[in-house]
């Protein structure tokens, strides 16, 4: 499959990027929070990368995520969206083209008829998530919540977290990922927010737009 070949090609590309930057595995491990032994296996092709590994690696090497996995272009050629299909059925559309800074993505998760067993991950960074369609299950630390369309969450990605569909319907959501400590700067806001029942589970913020 084309997706399998794209993931298989990530290892040599990771090694080439690291060597061009003249960075050791230990130095890259410190930058990404990924163990040097894991990085070595990723570069040799003995281990396939996960999304939680690709995001910090793309930031560290200063390349867009879709270029890191060499995703094929699709859709309107004026936009050049390059979808990334993952083995678990998740589709990722990188929305930003410039490396560095806050990166924007659209995620499409397949629906789930049975409740999934979460596999929380951690990585360096700060994340904002906004649900477009469907019901998104977010496990964040000890909290297990469901976000509906128009609701959002933000959190430190060093807290173990996991996303999944909360029902049999697919889920679409937007995700912004920034560096550790990087926060959004609000230039203007209404005196009274339209949402009434904000919740803060841990350091997550959930907001409704109605």
Q: What is the residue-averaged pLDDT of the chain?
A: 78
Segment 78-97 mean pLDDT: 73
- For residue 177 the two structure tokens come to 């990922």
Segment 130-145 mean pLDDT: 94
> For residue 209, is it left (φ>0), alpha (ψ between -120 and 50) or beta?
alpha
pLDDT of 36 higher than 70 = yes
Quote the pLDDT of residue 150. Answer: 92
Overall residue count recorded for the chain in this entry? 210
Quote the pLDDT of residue 196. Answer: 41
Structural contact between residues 121 and 177, judged by C-beta atoms closer than 8 angstroms: no
Quote the pLDDT of residue 70. Answer: 63
The distance from CA 142 to its chain's CA centroid, rounded to whole angstroms, is 20
At 146-199, the pLDDT tens digits run: 999 999 999 998 899 999 999 999 999 999 888 765 566 656 655 554 444 444
C-alpha–C-alpha distance, residues 148 and 144, integer Å: 14
Quote the pLDDT of residue 71. Answer: 54
Q: Which residues are 173's β-sheet partners?
A: 107, 131
In which band, very low, low, confident or very high, does the pLDDT at 101 lie, cut at 50, 70 and 90?
confident
C-alpha–C-alpha distance, residues 87 and 198, integer Å: 34
């Amino acid at each position: 499959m084309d997706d399998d070949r794209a993931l298989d090609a990530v290892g040599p590309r990771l090694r080439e990027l690291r060597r061009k930057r003249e960075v050791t595995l230990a130095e890259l491990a410190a930058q990404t929070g990924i163990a040097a032994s894991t990085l070595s296996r990723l570069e040799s092709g003995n281990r396939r990368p996960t999304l939680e590994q690709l995001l910090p690696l793309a930031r560290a090497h200063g390349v867009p995520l879709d270029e890191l996995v060499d995703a094929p272009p699709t859709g309107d050629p004026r936009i050049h969206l390059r979808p990334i299909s993952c083995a678990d059925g998740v589709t990722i559309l990188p929305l930003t083209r410039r490396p560095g800074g806050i990166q924007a993505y659209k995620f499409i998760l397949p629906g789930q008829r049975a409740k999934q067993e979460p596999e929380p991950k951690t990585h360096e960074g700060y994340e904002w998530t906004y649900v477009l369609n469907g019901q998104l299950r977010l496990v964040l630390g000890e909290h297990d919540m469901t976000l509906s369309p128009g609701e959002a969450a933000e959190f430190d990605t060093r807290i173990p977290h996991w996303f999944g569909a909360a029902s049999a319907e697919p889920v679409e959501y937007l995700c912004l990922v920034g560096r550790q400590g990087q926060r959004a700067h609000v230039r203007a806001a209404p005196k009274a927010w339209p949402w009434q029942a904000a919740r803060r589970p841990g350091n997550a913020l959930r907001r409704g737009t109605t």
